[in-house]
Amino acid sequence: MGRDLLIKNALVWPAARQPAIENGSVLVRDGRIAKVGRFTARADVVVDADGQLLMPGLIQTHIHFCQAIFRGAGEDLPLLPWLKKVVWPLEAAHDEDSIFTSASLACAEMIRGGTTSFFSIETVRHTEHAFRAADKMGLVGVIGHCLMDETGGYAPLAVDIEDALADLDVLQERWGGHERLRVGVAPRFALSCSGRNMRVASDYAREHGLLLHTHSSEQIEEVQLVRERTGKYNVDYLHSVGMSGADVCLAHCVHTQQQERELLAETQTKVMHCPSANFKLASGIAPIPEYLKAGITVSLGADGAPCNNRLDQFMEMREAGLMQKIRLGAEALPARDIVWMATEGGARTIGMEDELGTLEVGKRANMILVDQSTIHTIPSTDPATNIVYSNTASDVLMTIVDGQILFEDGHFTQFDEEKLRADVRRHRQKLMKRAGLS
C-alpha cells in the first residue's frame, strides 16, 4: 500500500450499466480509486493494459471455503443425501490445518478467476482459520461462522447456541476490526437449526451489527420438510424467527411462493443465487428475473466445490443467463443484468455498495483486467456479452484488491502456488481418512 498505481490504455468499464471508456485510465492512491476516465498521470507503478477490459472485481456471495478441499467428492447425489453422506462427515472431520488449506484454495481459485470479494459460510468449528487464510490471501469479504444445533441425526456437527455465541465473541474480538474482513453469523438452514437458535443468532447479529447468512428454499423436499416442521413456507418461517431484513442474505430461494417474494421485497432481504449448484444438485431454476423486477437485490455465488465443481464467477454468470433463457425464452435476463448481479448486486448484499462493485472515485481499488483478444473471444463485441458468454476465468490477466496486485502474468503474488498444491493433496488424504471416506 502507499504506492500509487496507474492502469492506462484500458477499455475501462466502470459499472455494469454504464458504457465502457476506450483508451481509459484508473489511478489508485492508498488502495482507493483516485481518478477514472481519459487522462494521463504519473504513478509509482504504471500498467499498460494494451486495450484490455478493466472492470470492477467480481463478488461471489454464498460460497463455502471449507468445502473447496471436498472437490469431486459426492458426485451425482441430490441435496439431502449429499449433505448427510459426504459433506457433513467431511466438515466434521476438518481440523485447523485442513480448514486453513481449504480456505486458501478457495481464495486462490477466486483470485485467479477475478473474484475479489465474497460472503462465505464456513462450518461450526475452526472458522478462525478461514479468517487466517483470507487475511493472508488478501481478499475483501465477510466470513460467516456456521451455527447448527439440530442436525437431523448427524450429531458431530451439533453445537449449543451458547458455545456458538462464545465462538462468535472470540472471532469478533480477533477479526472485528480487520481492514478487509468482517464476521458474519450463519445459522445453516431451517432443518439444522432450532427456532431458538435462529432467533438468538439474529438477535446477536443485530446487537453487534453483523450480517446474517443462511440457506432457504433450495429444494422441494427441503421446503416440504420445513412446512411439516413449522407449518410455514421457508421464507415465512425465517421471517418469524428474525431472519429477514436488509442484513439477511438467503442463499438459493429456488422454490418460493408469491407471498414469500413479496416479503423478500418488503423487508429488503437479499437473495444469493447459485446457478451451477442448483443445476448439479437438481434443485431447480430460481425465479431471478421476477426477483429483480420486484426490486429484490440478487447476487451470484458458486456455492461449494463439491456441488459445482468450481468457484468460478464467469461460469456462474453464463449459467445464470442460460438457465433463465431455457425457462422464459431467449430474451430473458440480458447480460448486463447478470454482470450487475456479479458486481453491484454482490456489493449491496454484503452492505459494501459504498466501497465495492463499481470503479468510482473513493471506492476500494478492486479491479480485474480481462483479456478480450483470446481466440474464444474474438471478434470482440459488447463487454457484457463477452464477460458473460465468451470470457472464462482463465482470461483474467490481473486481479487487484485495495490497489494490491494479487495475480499477474499467470502468477500469484502473495503465496507459493506449489506449496498450496502439496498442502491440498496432503490434507485431502488425511481428511478423507478421518471422515471414513477413503
Binding footprint of a second copy on the chain (CB under 8 A): 69, 71-73, 75-79, 82, 105, 108-109, 112-113, 276, 278-285, 308-312, 319, 321-323, 325-326, 328-332, 334-335, 373, 375-382, 385-386, 389-390, 392-394, 417, 420-421, 424-425, 428
In whole angstroms, the minimum distance from the beta carbon of 310 to a second copy comes to 5
**What gap in Å lies between CA 223 and CA 219, rounded to an integer?**
6
Q: How far is the CB of 406 from a second copy (least distance, A)?
A: 13
Nearer to a second copy, 49 or 347 (CB): 49
Q: Rounded distance, CA 209 to CA 211, Å?
A: 7
Angle between helix axes 161-175 and 195-208 (nearest 10 degrees) is 20
Contact (CB, 8 A) for 4 and 29: yes
Based on CB atoms, which residue is closest to a second copy, 225 or 389?
A: 389
Cβ 90 to a second copy shortest distance, Å: 12
Q: Nearest distance from residue 220's CB to a second copy, in Å?
A: 11
Q: For a second copy, which is the closer residue by CB, 174 or 425?
A: 425
Residue 8: all three cell numbers together = 492506462
Given the complex with a second copy, which of 276 and 297 has the nearer CB atom? 276
At 131, the amino acid letter reads: F
Cell output for 146:
456456521
> How many Å from the N-terminal Cα to the C-terminal Cα in the chain?
45
Output 38 or 421, the one with its CB closest to a second copy. 421
Beta-bridged to residue 370, according to DSSP, are 53, 396
C-alpha to C-alpha distance for 398 and 434, rounded to whole angstroms: 38
Rounded-to-integer distance, Cα 355 and Cα 377, Å: 30
Q: Which is nearer to a second copy, 26 or 108 (CB)?
A: 108
Q: Burial level of 430, CB count in 10 A (0-12/13-18/19+)? A: middle
Q: Minimum distance between the CB of residue 28 and a second copy, rounded to whole angstroms?
A: 26
> Nearest approach, Cβ of 167 to a second copy (angstroms)?
27
